[in-house]
Amino acid sequence: MDTSVLPIIILLPLILGTTLVALLQRFSREATALGAIAVSLTCFGLLLTEAKQIFAGAAILQSWDWLPQLGLNLSFRLDALGLLFSLLITGIGTLIYIYAYYYLSPRNSLAKLYMLLMVFMTAMLGISLSNNLILLLVFWELTSISSFLLVGYWSHYEAAQRGSRMALTITGMGGLAMLGGFILIGQITGTYQIDQLVNMKEMIQSHALFVPALLLILLGAFTKSAQFPFHFWLPNAMAAPTPVSAYLHSATMVKAGIFLLARLAPIFIG
């Protein structure tokens, strides 16, 4: 695989997906649904082409300079963990697009729902494939923004407005805490590259800032995954359309915290 395909997979739903859905809505709901499903399946298929190589132990890396003076790069990495979560995101996303077509009334905008789901899919793929902590955080916060818009899809309902605001507030505050933790990790090591941090765990764990950094990162993970005592936002967010709740709150977004802990476990454990 050409490693430049990693950002293509991430951006495909955001750029091609939203554009295609916006154009196809002029024809019919069926065409709109088929366009969304095709984009999701394309991402799924591109990921599958590397399954054999990845599960054989290889990893695909791609990086571009972003702010090199600050140690920030547009860095992406596809390994077994990232592949597993990315396949879940695109595979379940395809099923959700099919479900949404049959669920949503013709009186509601299917294209609007699909476009918001495409933005969310890009954010989740970015989390799964990022190899830089700050880049991961950018996508992390994009999930908060897109979930705010999705939970508030039926904005004429007070419950949807309340649920969307609560979800954004809690997960957004958790994201700020996690930013603090990531900055502390960068202060300790001088890098935000995840693959490099794995080889610096002794330096990180022996530093006085290790415990504060760990607690701040855990706070971000717990708020996103709706773990006690930050679980109270999740029931209110169920005011969203059922396909949204199925995708965000059952299948993908609340798993972002689990993914983050799994990704950073080699740094913090041992």
Identify the H or E element spanning 76.
strand 72-78
Helix 210-224 to helix 256-268 angle (10° resolution) is 160
Coil vs helix vs strand at 73: strand
Nearest to 143 by CA among 119, 165, 161, 162: 119
- What's the gap between Cα 63 and its chain centre? 19
- How many percent of the chain have pLDDT more than 90? 66
The letter for the amino acid at 245 is S
- What's the gap between Cα 24 and its chain centre? 26
In tens, the pLDDT along 201-234 reads 999 999 999 999 999 999 998 888 778 788 888 8
- Lowest-confidence region among 25-29, 44-48, 222-226: 222-226
What is the chain's mean pLDDT, rounded?
90
> Under 8 Å CB-to-CB from 203, ≥6 apart: which residues?
188, 189
In tens, the pLDDT along 134-163 reads 999 999 999 999 999 999 999 888 988 999
The letter for the amino acid at 176 is L
- Above 90 in pLDDT, residue 71? no
At residue 225, the pLDDT reads: 79
* Locus of tokens 């989740």: 124
> Under 8 Å CB-to-CB from 9, ≥6 apart: which residues?
43, 46, 47, 86, 125, 129
